[in-house]
Structure 1
Amino acid sequence: MSAPFSIAVTGQSLIRHDLRTIGDPRLAEIAEILKASDVAFTNLETTIYGRHGGWPLKGSYFGAAAPDVLAALKELGFNSLALANNHAFDLGPPGILSTLEEVAAHNFLHAGIGHNKHHASTAQKMTFGSRNVALIAMDAGPGPSFMYAEDATEGRIARPGINSLKVSRVFDLEAGTFNLLRSIQERLLSSPLERANYAQPEDPPDLHGQDEIDFYGTVFRRSDETARRIVMDRHSARAHLSAIAEEAGRDTLVIVYLHHHHWEPNWQQVPVWVREFAHDCVNAGAGLFVSHGAPVLQGVEIYRNTPIFYGLGNFLFHTEKDEQEWSPPEVWRSVIATCNFGSSGQLENVRLRPIVIGGTEALSNPARDRLPFPVLADGRMAADILDDLADRSAGFGTVLDREKNVGQIAF
């Protein structure tokens, strides 16, 4: 038997500004919720510009922050960070090294990047109260292969980078469309050498027989239907599942984190492959599964008494004002989820506090400047956020009760 235990999880923290000078009581309310839990977890959606330097390796979506933001997250109450995401390599290997150095200096439990593949994929552990907690964090892209950590081999030195869950994107086409695409490729005199040249610095994708073609970096497959698929690499998935099982066998609560940008056309819809992988992680021993990537709230599932948060959207979202792609209201609405475990270690309930990132005034009036922090939602706004989450979760068999401004999933 152990003491009751709680984990607060939030949306991703794309943070560029130090919040410690803000004396707003609404931010203090958020911090109070986070500090009330034994573990407070978020995804650090940036890379740290520290003593190792670095240079931008991305275009308009580049993001980096000073080490001060880590102190700000610590002061808010966070003590655990996932580091695997599409911004972690924005400064290249130097940014990876600086981020590792700074999060360690601030005593965060952290995982998802490393000096090499072995380091990046290794579960990182810390004791909170009476519970041993392990964190395994990974990113499924899409992104260039050079942003992922690599072990040294003969002729290649190790590369600092991100822990990868390897997946590939395949488009299935009915025979007529597939044959048309192949004929276009032939008329353009496209050759394997040409495609290899244009794939640089990547290697061209692997093909499996005559029913697949590489059309300038995208694989199309002859099929009975037209569909877009994300296919997990079995070896990569098995390696992560083995790491989960190893830690779970040590009486450790394992938090598994997945970041990805393989969104559905409706970006609040949970991809089938993510749900399958989340179930596999729980079957392997994960005590909590959290995912980010799409900057919107997605459904919650309780599978084998284990909470699965398919997408918690945003918590801090310091974007540029001219980035209109983030203007939909669902981008700015989320929840803080607190998972409460009893003395037996079993999940007892999940409490959900709805929040508005940037403040309710800016949500209703785009001309208003957004606050650099989230605020608790109340009244009609709180009800709308919770009711929408309940609807999105119902398909997974999740029953979400709402009492005033708080939601709860009880057992």
Structure 2
Amino acid sequence: MTSPFTVAMTGQSLIHHDVRASPDSGFHDIVQMLKTADVAFTNLETTVTGRHPGWPMKGSFFGCSEPFVLDVLKDMGFNTLSLANNHAFDLGPGGVLSTLEEVEARGFLHAGTGPDRAAARTSRSKKMGAKTVALAAMDAGPGPATMYADDAASDRPARPGVNRLEVRRLFTVDPEKFDMLTAIQSIFKSGELERANYYQPDDPPVVSDPRDIDFYGTVFRRSVQNRRHILIDQTSASSQLAAINESARRGEFVIAYLHHHHWEADWREVPEWVRVFARRCVDTGARIFACHGAPVLQPVEIYKSAPLFFGLGNFIFHVPEHEAEWNSADVWKSVVALCSFNEDGALCGMSLEPIILGGEKSLETGLPHTRRVPVLARSEMGRSIIEDLARRSASYGTKIEADRWSGRLVL
């Protein structure tokens, strides 16, 4: 009988420190899980320094790491990395090129950035276990246009950067609020010039619907309800899906990855546009869809025998001492999903192992910067993580049963 093909999916890894010497046995238990899987995946939530010069491209929430963090991840068992995220451009194009070189030198399967748009969009593949695995990774922002890879043209060179899934934000507002926005614009007689001055480095939004106005870079539409909408550019989506389909047609096992910060007011909820896009990825040929961005655990759905991990939260989350934004305990709780697939690439089993970053006792300290390693939660708190995930995933038709401290998917 053929052994199943196994994939370990984890939360994002914002890593700055060498954690290999941690004495915590619960951390080393996780490492053993990763090492036994054919594929061990995380999102590299940082940019790596290297031979290409780079400079900080932002003020707050800037982060870069020395190349040794890749050795740490490799020694932990990771062999597959997404590079598409909001920190990938923190050192600019030089940081993108350095990260690519350092990742490639260590033999990781990776995707999501490139020296130009065509390369960044390309899914990459590698033989792992019994299958050839392909990774397609993209970022939906929000971020400045300059962080995304672009191809060369007759009058401009290529730009190294991140693979972009283009989306736009649209606010619908009731007539009273819409008229108020229009009135504000009319106060500044040079409104068109005023808006144009602030478009750089982004191009102005395209406003073609008579119900819309461009309010200094944000589009508002007159409507009967007040609501935010995230709309996917279909041309951009088609190009991303084409890369997935090309790998699937070659018989490769495709992992589709999306990073974004267009969260719901409740971070733990799944944006509907993400769910729709995840299903399109599977319809096109992906066997796993995974998403990061919101630093919390979100529900799991099974669609056409493929798991949709809408948000796996954090796996490693090294924050500086002065950052006090991460007080919620949800930020420090997640799972490692151990998935088994049959010869046809259909999901045939999944266990969910609860983890707490820093361990359970660290949640009582109020010192987020000390929570260096993920630890298996073999406790009532671990069980509560599974039960909470099971309750929220049930609305997506997913049945998860608690099995002592772990969770088990009921197919």
The answer to whether structure 1 residue 342 and structure 2 residue 351 are counterparts is no
- The answer on whether the counterparts of 1:290 and 1:311 sit within 8 Å (CA) in structure 2 is yes
Normalising by structure 2, report the TM-score. 0.97
The answer to whether structure 1 residue 91 and structure 2 residue 76 are counterparts is no
Please report how far the alpha carbon of residue 26 of structure 1 lies from its aligned counterpart in structure 2 after TM superposition.
2.6
Report the counterpart of residue 106 of structure 1 in structure 2: 106
The answer to whether structure 1 residue 296 and structure 2 residue 296 are counterparts is yes
Which string of whole-angstrom CA distances, capped at 9 and with x for unpartnered residues, describes residues 379-409 of structure 1? 2111110011111111100000111111011
**Which one-letter code corresponds to 2:246 in the other structure?**
E
**Which one-letter code corresponds to 1:66 in the other structure?**
E
The answer to whether structure 1 residue 402 and structure 2 residue 402 are counterparts is yes
Report the counterpart of residue 31 of structure 1 in structure 2: 31
Report the counterpart of residue 200 of structure 1 in structure 2: 200
Stretch of structure 1 that moved more, 4-13 or 375-384: 375-384
Aligned counterparts of 2:264 and 2:305: Cα–Cα separation in 1: 27
Please report how far the alpha carbon of residue 367 of structure 1 lies from its aligned counterpart in structure 2 after TM superposition.
5.3
* Count of aligned pairs: 411
Q: Which runs of 5+ in 1 are unaligned?
A: none
The answer to whether structure 1 residue 382 and structure 2 residue 382 are counterparts is yes
Stretch of structure 1 that moved more, 176-185 or 302-311: 176-185
- The answer on whether the counterparts of 2:175 and 2:224 sit within 8 Å (CA) in structure 1 is yes
Report the counterpart of residue 155 of structure 1 in structure 2: 155
Stretch of structure 1 that moved more, 173-182 or 266-275: 173-182
Aligned counterparts of 1:367 and 1:194: Cα–Cα separation in 2: 45
**Which one-letter code corresponds to 1:378 in the other structure?**
R
Aligned counterparts of 1:164 and 1:101: Cα–Cα separation in 2: 20
Report the counterpart of residue 258 of structure 1 in structure 2: 258
Report the counterpart of residue 168 of structure 1 in structure 2: 168
SS at match of 1:184: helix
- Compared CA separation, residues 151 and 367, structure 1 to 2 (3 A): closer
RMSD after superposition:
1.3
Please report how far the alpha carbon of residue 241 of structure 1 lies from its aligned counterpart in structure 2 after TM superposition.
1.1
Aligned counterparts of 1:164 and 1:351: Cα–Cα separation in 2: 32
**Which one-letter code corresponds to 2:309 in the other structure?**
F
Please report how far the alpha carbon of residue 210 of structure 1 lies from its aligned counterpart in structure 2 after TM superposition.
2.6
- Compared CA separation, residues 200 and 334, structure 1 to 2 (3 A): same
Report the counterpart of residue 219 of structure 2 in structure 1: 219
SS at match of 1:362: helix
SS at match of 2:319: coil
**Which one-letter code corresponds to 2:301 in the other structure?**
E
Please report how far the alpha carbon of residue 2 of structure 1 lies from its aligned counterpart in structure 2 after TM superposition.
6.0
Please report how far the alpha carbon of residue 344 of structure 1 lies from its aligned counterpart in structure 2 after TM superposition.
4.1
Report the counterpart of residue 366 of structure 2 in structure 1: 366
- Compared CA separation, residues 127 and 13, structure 1 to 2 (3 A): same
SS at match of 1:182: helix
Please report how far the alpha carbon of residue 321 of structure 1 lies from its aligned counterpart in structure 2 after TM superposition.
2.6
SS at match of 2:51: coil
- The answer on whether the counterparts of 1:362 and 1:369 sit within 8 Å (CA) in structure 2 is no
Aligned counterparts of 1:265 and 1:190: Cα–Cα separation in 2: 35
Stretch of structure 1 that moved more, 198-207 or 81-90: 198-207
**Which one-letter code corresponds to 1:197 in the other structure?**
N
- The answer on whether the counterparts of 1:4 and 1:345 sit within 8 Å (CA) in structure 2 is no
Which string of whole-angstrom CA distances, capped at 9 and with x for unpartnered residues, describes residues 222-262 of structure 1? 11221100010010001111111111111111000000000
Aligned counterparts of 2:125 and 2:345: Cα–Cα separation in 1: 18
- Compared CA separation, residues 213 and 17, structure 1 to 2 (3 A): same
Please report how far the alpha carbon of residue 142 of structure 1 lies from its aligned counterpart in structure 2 after TM superposition.
0.1
Aligned counterparts of 2:251 and 2:3: Cα–Cα separation in 1: 14
Report the counterpart of residue 230 of structure 1 in structure 2: 230
- The answer on whether the counterparts of 1:124 and 1:134 sit within 8 Å (CA) in structure 2 is yes
Please report how far the alpha carbon of residue 374 of structure 1 lies from its aligned counterpart in structure 2 after TM superposition.
0.6
SS at match of 2:48: coil
- Aligned identity (percent) is 53
Stretch of structure 1 that moved more, 62-71 or 320-329: 320-329
Aligned counterparts of 1:410 and 1:268: Cα–Cα separation in 2: 22
Stretch of structure 1 that moved more, 254-263 or 334-343: 334-343
Report the counterpart of residue 276 of structure 2 in structure 1: 276
**Which one-letter code corresponds to 1:10 in the other structure?**
T
Report the counterpart of residue 333 of structure 1 in structure 2: 333
The answer to whether structure 1 residue 177 and structure 2 residue 170 are counterparts is no
- Compared CA separation, residues 302 and 335, structure 1 to 2 (3 A): same
- The answer on whether the counterparts of 2:170 and 2:228 sit within 8 Å (CA) in structure 1 is yes
- The answer on whether the counterparts of 2:318 and 2:369 sit within 8 Å (CA) in structure 1 is no
SS at match of 2:64: coil
- The answer on whether the counterparts of 2:298 and 2:310 sit within 8 Å (CA) in structure 1 is yes
Aligned counterparts of 1:233 and 1:382: Cα–Cα separation in 2: 40
Which string of whole-angstrom CA distances, capped at 9 and with x for unpartnered residues, describes residues 9-55 of structure 1? 00000000122333432321110111111000000000001111200
SS at match of 1:199: coil
SS at match of 1:208: coil
**Which one-letter code corresponds to 2:32 in the other structure?**
E
- The answer on whether the counterparts of 1:20 and 1:72 sit within 8 Å (CA) in structure 2 is yes
SS at match of 1:78: coil
Report the counterpart of residue 142 of structure 1 in structure 2: 142
- The answer on whether the counterparts of 2:320 and 2:369 sit within 8 Å (CA) in structure 1 is no
- The answer on whether the counterparts of 1:348 and 1:410 sit within 8 Å (CA) in structure 2 is no
Which string of whole-angstrom CA distances, capped at 9 and with x for unpartnered residues, describes residues 115-136 of structure 1? 0000000010000121011000
- The answer on whether the counterparts of 1:114 and 1:161 sit within 8 Å (CA) in structure 2 is yes
- The answer on whether the counterparts of 1:63 and 1:90 sit within 8 Å (CA) in structure 2 is yes
Stretch of structure 1 that moved more, 301-310 or 368-377: 368-377
Stretch of structure 1 that moved more, 280-289 or 210-219: 210-219
**Which one-letter code corresponds to 1:36 in the other structure?**
T
